[in-house]
Structure 1
Amino acid sequence: MKRAVLSVSDKTGLVSFAKGLIDRGFELVSTGGTHRELAAAGIAVTSVEEVTGFPEMLDGRVKTLHPKIHAGILARRDDPAHMEALANHDIQPIDLVCVNLYPFAATIKRPDVTRAEAIEQIDIGGPSALRAAAKNSDSVWTVVDPADYEAVLTGLDQDDAHLRQKLAAKVFAITAAYDAQIVHYLDPEPFPEHFTPTYIKRQDLRYGENSHQQAAFYVEPDPNPTSLAAAKQLHGKELSYNNIKDADAALAMLREFSEPAVVAVKHMNPCGIGLGKAIEGAWDKAYAADPMSIFGGIIALNRSVDLATAEKMHKLFLEIIMAPAFDDDAYAVLAKKKNVRLLTINTADTPAELGTETTAIYGGLLIQTRDNQTETPADMTVVTTVKPTDEQLKALAFAQTVVKHVKSNAIVVAQADQTLGIGAGQMNRIGSVELALTQAQQNDNFAGAVMASDAFFPMDDCVDYAAKHDIKAIIQPGGSIRDKDSIEKANQYGIAMVTTGIRHFRH
């Protein structure tokens, strides 16, 4: 008779699976809670103690760690010496191992969890049995996920060797991810000697950045509730690779604001950001910032979408609209367009610290802490004769908040509650200045606008150009060997300039 070992913390589908194994001629061996569950269902099951001749001990820490279990799993069926050793020690081969691991990740999510409680949920016997079975997958079936039960029963009927190998690979993937979670808990160092991230595939994507590229979307095992990975899609076709990148960028910008805010993004850069007393007013400002570029854009709002705002957005072609919620009548209006993607996402409980971000390079990975630095008027040093007004300081702080989300070289022209023009990704800074001001001066709200730069001015041409195009105040990090030239140019034109000492490159 074939033998199966079952020891699961997740009892989903267990009884049905066990009955399927018995129908296929398996003897069942089980431990603790799994044994009780099966016995209560009237299923014939042998306890591990009966097989090993040794009781469970140390509060269940030692159950399956015994030669009668592991030799039965690991013995090569095509090796006569192995089979003779089993016979000599009265060990029956084990043909299937069904184990899912202690809920370590769920345990450490509890806000009140103690270190001792977390440590107790580090599974030892489960991974050992699974890895042993996966190593011997030419002969032994491994089952680590209840979602695979039906496929396993079908595979047993067909003696599906390909499925057996896939399940073995899944074991090593899951145990590796499990170990990575433990490592991160025990040593949350952001830059460890060995970096072992773990992600779960959410979906295969139609293609990558371009149609000839393949892509998939992976998420963390427990994604932050304010992240795109935790968003719920209500309407529209599935997200594309570029949608996901743009939406993530939009959410990063939206997290900067507590007042009603609307962020419009194209190609990872903001094309319009507006603040208001209500979400409709914020939308009006974001739209007016660049009515052309918002076409086909990604929109993120930090308040529920009401009918008035929805009716205005409905007039445009938009790829994605994300908000905490949609009023019923607003949703009905927006859902008339079958292709617009409507997503709900938590924008209220934004964490102060969002950890690290990674960038893949050929042959390696770069990791850095996120740029969560935000400058307020208190962080600004006035370096010119003319001092900024309180309203200008507010506008400078807003522009500085936005500029760190713009691809370098980055320039933002703004009022205190609205971007007016954005220059992004140019190979020289004056080019970004020219682009930002060309767009900004088309806005009826331009008078009295301020300008922010993500990095210092290498020479005074940017200040000269800004002054000749009616900029009244500038914020920049400072730190150039030619800072004096830019300051003198600002004084010449009566511009207020402040420095922060903080650069915000975004490549």
Structure 2
Amino acid sequence: MSDVVAIERALISVSDKTGLVELGRALAGKGVEILSTGGSARTLRNAGVPVVEVADYTGVPEMLDGRVKTLVPKIHGGILGRRDLPEHVAQMAQHGIAPIGLVVVNLYPFEQTVAKGAEFAECVENIDIGGPALIRAAAKNHDFVAVLTDPAQYPDLIAALDAGGTTLAQRRHFAATAYTRTASYDAAIATWFTARNGDADPDLRMSETVPPQTGEVFPARLAIAGLKRQALRYGENPHQVAAFYATGERHGVATARQVQGKELSYNNINDTDAAYECVAEFDRPAVVIVKHANPCGVSLGADLASAWDRALACDTVSAFGGIIAVNRRLDAVSAAKMAEIFSEVIIAPDAEPEAIALLAKKKNLRLLIAGGLPDPAAPGLAFRSVAGGYLAQSRDAGRVTREALTVVTQRAPSNAEFEDMIFAFRVAKHVKSNAIVYARAGTTTGIGAGQMSRVDSSRIAALKGGDAIAGSVVASDAFFPFADGLEAAIAAGATSVIQPGGSIRDAEVIAAADRAGIAMVFTGMRHFRH
């Protein structure tokens, strides 16, 4: 027995009208009766496609400003009724319910409404109710009903019409996609609404333009929504599969337009995100070079060109094949300097046409234009998978200021040292723990990352920096558990230290600093990055 089902009747109610007329003409050309609502019906009718208004079909007018139009038995019965059950067929005939074999629905643009910064009431009005109900009903009855939720699916449906109908495999594929869509839609609503209404005043009215931002961060059930932006060739390694999903919350790799170059890989995306998050920390023109998710050179400058020269000088070996991030519009002079070495990716908030043209000669270089910088202080959640689940935490949006620092040594830092301390500590926030960062005059001079002992990170950073370490400040992402890590930094030539403090041996560490005559400050905040 064939599992092909011909379509006699279709219900169309879409927010996104892309491809609608072509689909309508294809359906009408096969003699399919089209039921439709509102703007969808107008679009089809204006294109000469025969349409029956849902209100005329059901005998129930649209009401409550269109909030109720398809939530009626004649529509849902036509979708949910099983054609292979005599009792269903009999009841449908008794109540004048005709079968509906195709449901085409895309939802109110809730995610887009939130993304554009709309007021609370407008966002609520863009929560679709009837649409998800129709989609879920059609997906449940996929033995007999095909459901489309994206204009990209229309060509497949049109091809199926030409072949006589949809197959069970096609309908199951459409159903799976439909449930994924409603799940992600509800997740986006849940995330937005929970964050804004968790502890809301019960007297809050929908007309309020700024609802309280005191929602529950970690509800009992946490929903995550994302839109697949790209299927990747593989993951961290060729034997792993991977994909890239976007949430649209902040500027970055997910919002970037790729101007040129090869397709981004999993590692490219991960490393570029690390670089762009780091460079966004700084107000002055800055350049960050990243290799394997760790900064290997960071510098501030009067302009991007000077910042590039100094960032590159920090570690010219590791910079080869790395990721470059800048926090200003990329200019042609800077682009020309960057083009002198091989890099995988350059990401910038914008780029001059001359810079784009110059980099176009580097065929394998990916150039990304992000449209803005991620706000380092913006709230949000970070996730990590574990066996059987995942961890969720708030993003590390912490930033120290000079006023928050506590001088704990006999010698206080100079103004220049204070500035370099804050710079180095912000860089350390983006270096894998245990992290040690040496810096002088707004430029990293040595970086030690990811070591199991802090003293090893100190020594590796000093080894990489060589003579450039002399006169530098040193930042540690967490406290020194023993004086040996600090002593290694002193031996390398560091003159002042910034660290969180909080060790039971803080007194020993402070005494070591005083013996060497260096300055040290505590932040009271650590930046573990695992």
Identity of aligned residues (%): 50
Deviation of the 1:223 alpha carbon: 4.0
1:295 and 2:302 are equivalent in the alignment: no
| Structure 1, 278-287 or 122-131: larger mean CA deviation | 122-131
- Indicate conservation of the 8 Å contact 2:435/2:450, yes or no: yes
SS at match of 1:321: strand
Q: Please tell me the residue identity of whatever aligns with 1:180.
A: A
The aligned counterpart of 2:206 is: none
The aligned counterpart of 1:505 is: 528
Root-mean-square deviation (CA), in Å? 1.7
The aligned counterpart of 2:58 is: 52
CA distance in 2 between partners of 1:112 and 1:342 (Å): 31
Deviation of the 1:144 alpha carbon: 1.6
The aligned counterpart of 1:338 is: 363
Alignment of 1:462-501 (within 5 A): 462-501=485-524
The aligned counterpart of 2:182 is: 175
1:256 and 2:285 are equivalent in the alignment: no
- Indicate conservation of the 8 Å contact 1:414/1:451, yes or no: yes
Q: In the TM superposition, what whole-angstrom CA distance separates every residue of 1:175-225 from its partner, at most 9, and x where no partner exists? A: 1111112212321132121111111111111111111111111111x342x
The aligned counterpart of 1:152 is: 157
Deviation of the 1:414 alpha carbon: 0.7
CA distance in 1 between partners of 2:152 and 2:418 (Å): 57
The aligned counterpart of 2:74 is: 68
Structure 1 portions without partners, runs of 5+: none
Deviation of the 1:348 alpha carbon: 5.1
CA distance in 2 between partners of 1:430 and 1:502 (Å): 20
- Indicate conservation of the 8 Å contact 1:86/1:92, yes or no: yes
The aligned counterpart of 1:107 is: 113
The aligned counterpart of 1:353 is: 378
Q: Please tell me the residue identity of whatever aligns with 2:520.
A: M
Deviation of the 1:405 alpha carbon: 0.8
Q: Please tell me the residue identity of whatever aligns with 1:216.
A: A
Number of equivalenced pairs: 502
Deviation of the 1:103 alpha carbon: 2.0
| Structure 1, 227-236 or 305-314: larger mean CA deviation | 305-314
CA distance in 2 between partners of 1:45 and 1:310 (Å): 56
The aligned counterpart of 1:272 is: 297
- Indicate conservation of the 8 Å contact 1:383/1:498, yes or no: yes
1:120 and 2:125 are equivalent in the alignment: yes
- Indicate conservation of the 8 Å contact 1:410/1:429, yes or no: yes
Q: Please tell me the residue identity of whatever aligns with 2:181.
A: I
CA distance in 1 between partners of 2:267 and 2:239 (Å): 14
Deviation of the 1:112 alpha carbon: 4.6
TM-score, normalised relative to structure 2: 0.91
Deviation of the 1:2 alpha carbon: 1.4
Deviation of the 1:316 alpha carbon: 1.0
1:418 and 2:425 are equivalent in the alignment: no
The aligned counterpart of 1:210 is: 237
- Indicate conservation of the 8 Å contact 1:396/1:416, yes or no: no
Change (3 A) 1:60 1:393: same
Change (3 A) 1:389 1:141: same
Q: Please tell me the residue identity of whatever aligns with 1:147.
A: A
1:142 and 2:152 are equivalent in the alignment: no
Alignment of 1:283-322 (within 5 A): 283-322=308-347
Alignment of 1:392-431 (within 5 A): 392-431=417-456
1:166 and 2:150 are equivalent in the alignment: no
SS at match of 2:295: strand
Q: In the TM superposition, what whole-angstrom CA distance separates every residue of 1:214-249 from its partner, at most 9, and x where no partner exists? A: 1111111x342x211011111110111100000000
The aligned counterpart of 1:29 is: 35
SS at match of 2:345: strand
Structure 2 portions without partners, runs of 5+: 1-6, 196-215
SS at match of 2:318: coil
Deviation of the 1:43 alpha carbon: 2.7
Deviation of the 1:468 alpha carbon: 2.4
| Structure 1, 118-127 or 106-115: larger mean CA deviation | 106-115
Alignment of 1:378-393 (within 5 A): 378-393=403-418
Deviation of the 1:10 alpha carbon: 2.1
CA distance in 1 between partners of 2:8 and 2:36 (Å): 14
- Indicate conservation of the 8 Å contact 2:377/2:398, yes or no: no
- Indicate conservation of the 8 Å contact 2:350/2:372, yes or no: no
Q: Please tell me the residue identity of whatever aligns with 1:289.
A: C
SS at match of 1:293: helix
